[in-house]
Amino acid sequence: MNNPDIARIFEEMADLLELHGENAFRVRAYRNGAKAIMELDEAVAAIVEDESKDLQSYSSIGKTLADKCRTLVETGRLPQLEKLKAETPEVLIKMTRIPGLGVKKAMALQTELGIETLEELKEACEQEKVRALKGFAAKTEKLILDGLEIAEAASQRIRLDQAEKLVHRINEHLKGCDAIDQMEFAGSFRRGKETIGDVDILVVSQNHDAVMDQLEAFTGVVSVIVRGDTKMSIRVDEQFQVDLRVVPAESFGAALQYFTGSKEHNVAVRSRARKMGLTVNEYGVSKLDDPYNYIAGKTEEEVYEALGLEWVSPELREGRKELTWAENRNETPELLELEHIVSDLHMHTTASDGANSIEQMADAARERGLTHIAITDHSKRVTMANGLDEARLLEQWKKIDDFNKKQDDGFRVLKGVECDILEAGPLDIADEVLAEADWVIASVHYGQKQSRQEITDRIVGALENPHVHTIAHPTGRLIGSRPPYDVDLHTVFQAAVEQQKSLELNASPRRLDLSEENLLQAAQMGIPITINTDAHAVTGMEVMRFGVTQARRAGLTREQVLNTWALDELLEWLS
């Protein structure tokens, strides 16, 4: 029973308790507990077994959740969850996924009409039986019929890079609207989350109708979900939701703060306000006893300032430690910025499966303001990528030596390799050849389905090889399409600390591996992080910004990231 398992169970408890109409604060307590456990830098199991440690000393974990953690670690089960599950008809959970159908209505349908499946629900609507119930009418029947398909589809989130494309399209479309005075995309997109559940647009305008008409005319609009005076939601590209909010200019900052979230961050901000005798909504900050007289709201800075806080970077707004930092001034980590990056240490060329030469990759990197890169083509095991054997590697490195000699601006290409960790454990390239490299990345491409023990041993074994400097994409996950290997990351992190090795944050928006939670833990353990694009062509280098955003979300500073170090600093560390 590892931390993500326990967190998932608490999330499930929260969902089920919510479905049963439990106290909303109790539900939130389970959610907060799940989040806290996901972000814990040690294993709950280890804390339970260690007499000197107390789970209750961690924030959001009280007596009850601590007890449940102990039960889970010791027995692998949670009787309360099993009881709740047994008491909850499956169809209830499914029905609440229909937009507009919440717990109360789902419960009424289930108990009063005896609905057991979504199919039966559909029939009941078609036979106009639903409208007979109190609180239901013809429109609700139609709402349910329309929403059934959405409920069947898995809740879909899109990757940050896909969201960026959609945002760009909407931005281009809305730019043509003269009624818009100010516009910002908020929500999880602004916070730079790896996946986005919906797009949130904030607009300042005197003419709400003109803005909403313009959005409604956007290509790809499937339906208008709601449209009121200040708020509109549409569905685009099949099932993706876009929310629009129109506010007056003097409220723009407060609305941006509110609309950027996260929900947890906003709860923390508003709780703090209450303790100060203030209240915050999307229109501004005001005194509790004079709620309509706003004392701040035009800018976000003003809103935070009114609460005695420094402005908080959107990437940090997740209800973790950001308010404590912002309150104590100068405690917020100085977050990594794209401009700090001077190297890219994982890329491929035509020698393996890349599309460009060493020279082309180097030129492109130089144009991006980098001072050094590492060429790291695949090793021979990756046959489908035309991986290099020892002889071809040595030949390539000779070319790199020649290339470096010709550079008069100090630009340097490091001789590297992305060396496979073979299924049985050893590395794909002989040690005496690896010893010649400037930079060695080890990675898993085959045998991803191995057991936890096997795959963890392979990666730890690679870290113990004196020639290896980092592990590429340490969990192998592909966002939305492939789960991580069953690797014990805590053990990998400990090995990295002991061996003084780095770990990669692969910047590809499909990977972003390590994940944000993983990064938080790795950084706390002091492991230097390498952010690399894994570019297979010169255009592939542009994904660096996604890696930087992910690092910022984990609170990483310049010092913690190898790619910000000058060449001589890096070489010294390598030696």
Partner DNA sequence: GCCGTTTTCGGCCCGACTGTTTTCAGTCG
Binding stretches for DNA (CB under 7 A): 23, 25-26, 28-30, 32-33, 56, 59-66, 96, 98-106, 131, 134-140, 143, 198, 200, 226-231, 233, 241, 243, 263, 266-267, 270-271, 273-275, 279-283, 291
Q: Which of 375, 415, 379 is nearest to 398 (CA)?
A: 415
To DNA, the closest distance from the beta carbon of 2 in angstroms equals: 20
To DNA, the closest distance from the beta carbon of 285 in angstroms equals: 10
**Would you state the structure tokens that stand for residue 38, as one six-digit string?**
């996901």
Classify residue 468 as left (phi > 0), alpha (psi -120 to 50) or beta: beta
To DNA, the closest distance from the beta carbon of 251 in angstroms equals: 10
Q: Find the length of the chain.
A: 575
Residue with smaller CB distance to DNA, 14 or 442: 14
To DNA, the closest distance from the beta carbon of 207 in angstroms equals: 14
Residue with smaller CB distance to DNA, 101 or 373: 101
To DNA, the closest distance from the beta carbon of 101 in angstroms equals: 5
Report in angstroms the alpha-carbon separations of 53 from 50, 75, 255, 369, 495.
6, 20, 42, 48, 23
DSSP character at residue 239: T
Residue with smaller CB distance to DNA, 152 or 339: 152
List Cβ<8 Å contacts ≥24 apart for 493-499: 493/521, 493/522, 493/525, 493/527, 494/525, 495/459, 495/460, 495/463, 495/464, 496/463, 496/471, 496/522, 496/525, 496/527, 497/525, 497/526, 497/527, 499/463, 499/464
Using DSSP's 3-state secondary structure scheme, residue 218 falls into: coil
**Amino acid at the residue 370:** L
DSSP character at residue 478: B
To DNA, the closest distance from the beta carbon of 144 in angstroms equals: 10
Whole-angstrom distance, CA of residue 458 vs CA of residue 477: 17
Residue with smaller CB distance to DNA, 261 or 484: 261
To DNA, the closest distance from the beta carbon of 225 in angstroms equals: 8
**Would you state the structure tokens that stand for residue 181, as one six-digit string?**
């005075």
Residue with smaller CB distance to DNA, 10 or 493: 10
Q: Please provide residue 565's backbone torsions phi and psi, each rounded to the nearest 5 degrees.
A: -80, 140
Using DSSP's 3-state secondary structure scheme, residue 127 falls into: coil
Residue with smaller CB distance to DNA, 235 or 458: 235
Residue with smaller CB distance to DNA, 75 or 328: 328
Whole-angstrom distance, CA of residue 379 vs CA of residue 430: 11
To DNA, the closest distance from the beta carbon of 202 in angstroms equals: 11
Residue with smaller CB distance to DNA, 20 or 231: 231
